[in-house]
Amino acid sequence: MRERLNRFMAGRYGVDELSRFMLYLSLFLMLSEFILNFFSGNVVISLISRIVNLVALVIIILNLVRIFSRNHTRQYKINQWFLRTKGRIIGFFKGNRSAADKTKKVFKCPKCSQRVRVPRGRGRIEITCPRCRTRFIKKT
Ligand SMILES: [Zn+2]
């Protein structure tokens, strides 16, 4: 049985970050649908519940298609796209678009509020605002 499974899985793409995310997402949707079913008397809620159920099903099928795919390059590219998008979304919610860049530190000019990016770990340095030429001292 195990050998059979191994033979079946040979050359298949397998699990990556995106498939794990899709698994959690489909589980979350199924749980939501389960909760929504408690209010099944309401027409709108039962419609939403059906849509949630359908979306969860589509995600599960797409996930299985990816895991059992033999086109590794394509699945790898999709996963890379997912990781980039995830990084961007996390960066956006952190209010710092360059959240990934840990070698730089961002300060605001005390006069004109211009954001100034300087290298980290240089100690106390004098920064000149590129917009209004105001000088201010900050610890990096
Ligand atoms: Zn300034």
pLDDT per residue over 22-73, tens digit each? 999 999 999 999 998 888 788 898 899 999 999 999 999 999 999 999 999 9
How far is 121 from 103, CA to CA, in rounded Å? Answer: 8
Q: What is the DSSP letter of 39?
A: G
Band the pLDDT of 100: cuts 50, 70, 90.
low
How far is 130 from 116, CA to CA, in rounded Å? Answer: 8
Q: How far is the CA of 131 from the centre of ligand 1 (A)?
A: 5
Residues, Cβ < 5 Å to ion ligand 1: 109, 111-112, 114, 129, 131-132, 134
Helix axes 17-36, 43-67, angle to 10 degrees: 160
**Beta carbons within 10 angstroms of residue 140's beta carbon:** 14
**Beta carbons within 10 angstroms of residue 9's beta carbon:** 12
Q: How far is the CA of 114 from the centre of ligand 1 (A)?
A: 5
Q: How far is the CA of 136 from the centre of ligand 1 (A)?
A: 9
> Which of 40-49, 78-87, 103-112, 128-137 is the least confident region?
40-49
**What is the pLDDT at residue 93?**
83
Mean pLDDT value of segment 80-107: 81
